[in-house]
């Protein structure tokens, strides 16, 4: 399992009470932020 999929599961647990679309938007923002930071750092 990749770290991103683990993060996805963790955030899904946190965002479960929210509407599905809102959770998807949060996951998308989190993914892009992590990827942006990773590309800058690496």
DSSP code string of 15-39: HTTS-HHHHHHHHHHHHHHHHHHHH
- Residues 21-42: what's their mean pLDDT? 85
CA 32 distance to own-chain centroid: 8
33 band by pLDDT with thresholds 50, 70 and 90: very high
DSSP reduced 3-state for 40: helix
pTM of the model: 0.45
The CA-atom distances, in angstroms, between 24 and each of 2, 31, 38, 40 are: 19, 10, 21, 24
Nearest to 30 by CA among 41, 14, 17, 19: 14
- Residues 10-24: what's their mean pLDDT? 67
């Amino acid at each position: 399992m990749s770290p991103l999929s683990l993060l996805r599961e963790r955030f899904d647990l946190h965002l479960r009470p929210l509407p599905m679309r809102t959770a998807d938007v949060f996951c998308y923002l989190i993914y892009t932020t992590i990827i942006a930071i990773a590309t800058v750092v690496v």
